[in-house]
Amino acid sequence: MKYCSTRGGVQGLSFVDSLMTGLAPDGGLLVPESIPDVTAQLDSWRDLSFVELAQQVIALFVDDIERETLDKLITEAYASFSHPEVIGWRTLGDVTLMELFHGPTLAFKDVALQLVGRLFEHVLAERGEHMNILGVTSGDTGGAAIASVRGQDNIDIFILYPDSKVSPLQEMQMTTVTDNNVHCVAVQGSFDDCQSLMKEVFADLDFKQEFHLGAVNSVNWARVMAQIVYYGYASLRFEQPPAFCVPTGNFGNIFAAYMAREMGFPMDRLLMATNENDILVRFFATGEYARGEVHYTLSPAMDIQVASNFERFLYYYFDKDAQRLKEFMQEFQSTGRASIGAPPGDDVLLATAVDTQQTLATLKSVFEQFDYVLDPHTAVAFAACQEFGKQCSAPLVCVATAHPAKFPEAVKQASPTAQATHPVLEALKGLASKKQLIPATVDAVKDLIRATVSAQPH
């Protein structure tokens, strides 16, 4: 399998090179040059465990790591999960909840990042190299990425996050990791500011090469690749193709669902649920992709107005026309808006927005009806799923992306008697922490990386 950039400037990359490259040098995102067709394998895959299916699916995208080694890395990645099946299942009325928060940081990001961290470690060891990972987070990516590489000698990780705009427990999951290779950086701005800074730093190819920068966000194809697995795994549990409802911020998780469907896994429609940050809802309603003001909500991982993975969907929507995609993204970057001229008319991907009051009402009603506590991101998806269910005959799967204990304030606001705790998070309270505060400028990010790397004994 070879990889190319959505913007046409890179072709023929191996998987390992795409893993280490992260964001393409031309500013685009890397995608496989072809999408594997798995329809002939589906019957033989139905009885596989999650890990066994992961080994089958991921091998389709990775042909430059020895298969025995790859299978071992996949097995090791999921050994740290507390659920024997890796992911959990709950039935809440007509909705099946797919729990993706049984990893070490209690968030769906663990499913991909526990594997990505091991892939990085393996490749760097083989090459005898050191990497500086630069990532951004609106909450969960940071903790999951840090957990996947903490203590590794051949990796330093720098995580940018919007100061005071992630939940206190999410921040503690990052800042209480005091390993020397972990650097938590609070930025005086929004998540979109952080994401823009990361892309600008990666766009400086001389700086990227000098400091051996790598990406851990979902701009890195390996993240999406690993997430495809749980959609395929879930789809094979049902007698008829299920529909999936996904809480959506940066479009990576729903794009993994889209890719699983394109590969031939039996899946009905895909519903993306956003909060008040509804740039994607507006696009699917009008065809215009227009940046708006960031609204800060109870579901902070979705407080995003620029969904970076949306570029991958547009690449396929434009029939792999890299020039058209490049012009669209350049117009958006320069003006804050770009249009395809009309609603996309895609009957697979649907989008809806759920506001804060609906989120709180859903948290409350699910707790009262099912004695089950949702986190606020999953509540957004569950509310959308219930509405969507009125017009959909397919089995409904709601993607549960985080443990509610990460958002106790939102849970308490909705249902004062609901309990949202977890021993992993309780153990963080009172621990020493470290972080650095910087302004939202490219120079501040570069200066921090430069100073930190020069002080390290590499």
At residue 379, the 3 state secondary structure works out as helix
- Give whole-number Cα distances, 179 to 39, 156, 413, 433, 434, in Å: 45, 10, 35, 11, 10
Task: Please provide residue 419's backbone torsions phi and psi, each rounded to the nearest 5 degrees.
Answer: -100, 125
Neighbouring-strand partners of residue 272: 246, 351
Q: Which amino acid is at 194?
A: C
Of 48, 446, 1, nearest to 221 by C-alpha is 1
Of 68, 150, 70, nearest to 117 by C-alpha is 150
390 catalytic residue (yes or no): no
Quote the CA–CA distance of 35 and 219 in Å, as a whole number. Answer: 18
Quote the CA–CA distance of 341 and 292 in Å, as a whole number. Answer: 19
Q: What angle do CA 352, 354, 355 make, to 5 degrees?
A: 145
| DSSP letters spanning 219-264 | TSHHHHHHHHHHHHHHHTTSSSPPEEEEE-SSSHHHHHHHHHHHHT
Neighbouring-strand partners of residue 290: 337
269 with 347: CB under 8 angstroms? yes
Q: Which of 2, 72, 109, 412 is catalytic?
A: 109
User: Mind telling me the catalytic residues?
Assistant: 109
